[in-house]
Amino acid sequence: MKIQTRLTLVLPAVCALALSAAAQNTPKPLPPAATKTGVTYAGDLKAILDKSCVKCHSGDKPKNKLKLDTLEGILAGGRDGKVVIVGDSAKSVIVQAAAHTTEDSDEWMPPAKDAANYPPLTADQVGLLRAWIDQGAK
């Protein structure tokens, strides 16, 4: 088989793989806040964060000194400051990180490279996180 023929067959597949990888690291729009009222950390968020976040953000040495396993920890923030702006979920770092809205995929939580081990939050879960913050983060 000629080199030119091989390139014709292989090049589209390589391009498709590259585009697929790039699409996985593309920022997404911020999902809307859930319409549920009375959202609480203990009743609605803890189970979600336990599944996707606390493996890295709890214990004696949490990443970035951010503990997400307690209400007090999430409200305290971490090494880089507060991650929740009570009453303003759209500006809360935790929402932006969980929704993958930043262009820098290193800021996504859980990290894109670890998605198999730590499931990212769904749009509905991010919406619930937003509702919790907008409703006072209780």
Find out whether 85 and 98 touch, Cβ atoms under 8 Å.
no
C-alpha to C-alpha distance for 63 and 58, rounded to whole angstroms: 8
pLDDT tens, residue by residue, 86-130: 999 999 999 999 998 888 777 888 877 765 578 889 999 999 999
Any idea what DSSP says for residue 86?
T
Q: In terms of pTM, does the model score above 0.95?
A: no
pLDDT tens, residue by residue, 41-69: 999 999 999 998 888 899 999 999 999 99
CA proximity to 128, closest of 23, 44, 29, 24: 44
What pLDDT score was predicted for residue 29? 85
What pLDDT score was predicted for residue 117? 77
Q: Where are the domains of the chain?
A: 27-134
C-alpha to C-alpha distance for 125 and 77, rounded to whole angstroms: 20
